Amino acid sequence: MKCDYTLYLVTDREILKGRDLLQAVEEALAGGVTLVQLREKDASSREFYELAVSMKNLTAGYGVPLIINDRLDIALAVQADGLHIGQEDLPLPVVRKLMGPDKIIGYSVSNVEEARYGEKHGADYLGAGPVFTTATKKVSTPTLGPAGLKRIKETVSIPVVGIGGINLENLKEVRRTGVDGVSIVSGILGSDRPGHTALSIRREWDNG
Amino acid sequence: MKCDYTLYLVTDREILKGRDLLQAVEEALAGGVTLVQLREKDASSREFYELAVSMKNLTAGYGVPLIINDRLDIALAVQADGLHIGQEDLPLPVVRKLMGPDKIIGYSVSNVEEARYGEKHGADYLGAGPVFTTATKKVSTPTLGPAGLKRIKETVSIPVVGIGGINLENLKEVRRTGVDGVSIVSGILGSDRPGHTALSIRREWDNG
């Protein structure tokens, strides 16, 4: 499946502080988000499933693919366009086999070795990070910085998106690494006007 | 798949207080457990997967089916014999479709309406409870008691196992309801000698 990785929104309900997730994502879609990843860490399987059904309807209306984080069962149940996994999730070869050849598989990497592994075992794209420090995810992994991100991008031939602490201020720096897009959590959903913020990021990227 | 529901062990790592889960389950299998359900509520997908691979090897060696709790992705990834779901998990019709016709699907119910729904939508067996009060699961659902369990058993034609607070002392009372077996968590894994306890329960049941 062909996919535009330019502006990849990753969800986080906590950061919304009670605002409605579907509404915030819809605003971001209207602002120019090209890909959505639904990430739920504490929901029951039923809650995750029901939210994913609603999200699929929403993203489909914008012609934007929906990727599910971690949970292959939810991805299969809602016939999502793909699955994004990290180092703590199901093994990549198992995921590729169960999802079939046509679904988008994303893989989180934080160094060149993991990037090579991802490309070799069937990932369609890599989410590389954290590029900068971020409050969204508590990670002990050292930040890549633009230089580390560039090194990963140059190591593989599949698309790479940067993730972690990316915002309007550092976007140009990220773009210059040659990556295919940026994955943004708090930079969009943490904003009071997700649509406006997404649009500003798109313009900054497109004018890069 | 034909299945013996007589003594159904459900795992709970918390109750083991640091003892090794695989070793405790192996003792219980040697003692006469006929079915094992692997339940993990806080593990990462990777941890759950790796534990499930080991558990599958163990149960297969005893010719005992392995059922995964809640996580259809883990069940598919390790080619488990079945999946057990509750009211907070993926919808039963979705699960039946994704697991195919040959896998064992179990469904937790706490009243006659849920039991009818389960039978109608493709469950192979029902786990009905809580029969008695139990410390393992914090539930607000009222206990069924032997009378409520009997009512559920008489409502459906698929196998029914009782769950919740069942032990050697109340086993005869449960058996008299006509259920096909008992599902036990703390009664076996909370015991210092899981194998000996499983054997005692089997004997008490078989001598019914």
Q: Does A73 touch chain B (CB under 8 A)?
A: yes
Question: Is-catalytic flag, B44?
Answer: no
Structure tokens at A156: 């593989």
User: Residue A72: which of B44, B73, B85 has the nearest Cβ?
Assistant: B73
CATH number of A134's domain = 3.20.20.70
User: Residue B88: which of A44, A89, A98 has the nearest Cβ?
Assistant: A44
Report the distance separating Cα A124 and Cα A1, nearest Å.
9
Residues of chain A found within 8 Å of residue B47, distances taken between Cβ atoms:
88
For B173, the domain range is 7-199
Domain count, chain B: 1
Report the distance separating Cα A113 and Cα B87, nearest Å.
42
What is the interface pTM, i.e. ipTM, of the complex? 0.94
Q: Does A115 touch chain B (CB under 8 A)?
A: no
In a domain, A121, yes or no: yes
Q: What are phi and psi of A183, to 5 degrees?
A: -105, 125
Question: pLDDT tens, position by position, for chain B (208 residues)?
Answer: 579 999 999 999 999 988 999 999 999 999 999 999 999 989 999 999 999 999 999 999 999 999 999 999 999 999 999 999 999 999 999 999 999 999 999 999 999 999 999 999 999 999 999 999 976 666 678 999 999 999 999 999 999 999 999 999 999 999 999 999 999 998 899 999 999 999 999 999 998 7
In a domain, B1, yes or no: no
pTM of the model: 0.95
In a domain, A113, yes or no: yes
Q: Is the dihedral of CA B189, B190, B194, B196 positive or negative?
A: negative
In a domain, A1, yes or no: no
By annotation, the residues of A acting in catalysis are: 39, 108, 137
In a domain, B206, yes or no: no
In a domain, A207, yes or no: no
**Does B46 sit within 8 Å of A88, measured CB to CB?**
yes
**Does A77 sit within 8 Å of B46, measured CB to CB?**
no
Q: Where are the beta strands (DSSP E) in B91-139?
A: 104-109, 125-128
Q: Does B114 touch chain A (CB under 8 A)?
A: no
